[in-house]
Chain A
Amino acid sequence: MSALFEFCLRMGDNTLVLGHRVSEWCGHAPVLEEDIALANTALDLIGQTQMWLGLAADVEGQGRSADDLAFLRDAWDFRNLLLVEQPNGDFGVTMMRQFLFDAWHLGQLETLIDSADDRVSAIAQKAIKEVTYHFDRSSGLVIGLGDGSDESHARMQTALDLLWPFAGEGFEADATDLELAGAGIAPNPAGLRAAFDARVEQVLQRATLSLPESRFAHRGGRTGARHSEHLGHMLATMQVLQRSYPGATW
């Protein structure tokens, strides 16, 4: 498996899994405006998935399509961060997950726009406009809810404590990362940590939330070694139609 193929799966699986998770809110959000915002965010993420998994399929050159990669792979073939497969929880957990992902995603895309691979750069240039907007929204909600009522503050702190151990995985580097960093195609994720910390701390401070001290990080999602039990359940829902009626179109 080529490093570039692996990298495209990592990018595309993040946006696919989070896009599906966020779409689970459709029709259930606390207020209409947030329902629409969540659905639009999910739509952007699924659009980005089509670009990343489309490139993965081209790079692989085995005749698989972006749809084949999304609907016909099993949980152990997915390369998304554990963070994005975590269940939605309450609205606070969903927004904290979005905020931590957006902060990581934005840092990643900022370097990918200068990728030595034109196809990677083109996707990053497109996606960064949408992700800048996502980060603006999720930061605003984290601040508004964190520095809100006692109830909303408590829920946001609980969400941060729950999700923080999943924030570190995005900065781990393996042989794939080192190969791509050497070729100037993608950054070494370890080098993005400082900017991420600064970005996150600035928002959390305004949100009156405290960052947990532990840097312990769950890992195993982006390598596919050990996903959480939640991914399989999510895929069962997401893939059921193509698995039950292979090749179905409409």
Chain B
Amino acid sequence: MKKIISVRRIIPKPPNIKKHAIKLSETTLDKKQKANVFFSEVGVFFLFLWITTRAAFSREFEFNEFLRQCYQIGNKTLPLISVTGLVIGLVLTIQSRPVLVDFGAESMLPAMVALSIIREMGPVVTGLICAGKIGSGMGAELGAMKVSEQIDAMEVSSINPVRFLVVPRVLAATLMIPILVLYADALGILGSWAGANIKGNVTFVLFFSQAFSAIGFMDLFPAVIKTFFFGAAIGFVGCFKGYTAGRGTESVGMAANSAVVMASLFVILIDLVAVQITDML
């Protein structure tokens, strides 16, 4: 095929005016344009949610990647969650003891602390820690993959990057965060027992039987359910921010940063909604 083709000179066109137009910068956007940017981001968010949901129900599931993500989530957060869980139990006990003593209700201590850990403190604090640790990790990882064109590379090899990267991460977070919350709850109650032993003297068995006698199904069940939503939100927001990162290295940092902000906000909002719903039951 090495045949010679005659040289053809194309006369250059006059320079295009559009080419020299300056790109609109963030500061020149007026209010209407800012609203458009906001709504387009909301639009992209729901579009991405739809794409992810669709990919999650496709036949091929990346099980190995899912396991790897589960391991990573546990591995990354376990030390931090252990310490936090213990300290929360300890602090709650030390703080509430004088008040309960004043009212002569010291025997209520285990039950009260256990209830507040299981219903509120355990889920929310673990959720916020995971939003920081896992949300930022996923945002940065996917953001870096986006910037270095790895996501594009998957796409041109006709591998669906949402199915390979996003779905396993979201599902892993949805499964792992409830487990981490239950673990934090357990350590919190342990910490509380330690706190109770600083001034008083309660046996481990007595403390736990008092604590658990107060906890009913309707305390545990809604608290566990909401942590699944925490997990899904954290995983999804982290992936969304990473996946939609812009070009250039600074957008990786921005993706990680805004993933934490948005995931924490989601945790708080989901908690608010969950409390309202539990209240109605």
Q: Bound pair: A and B?
A: no
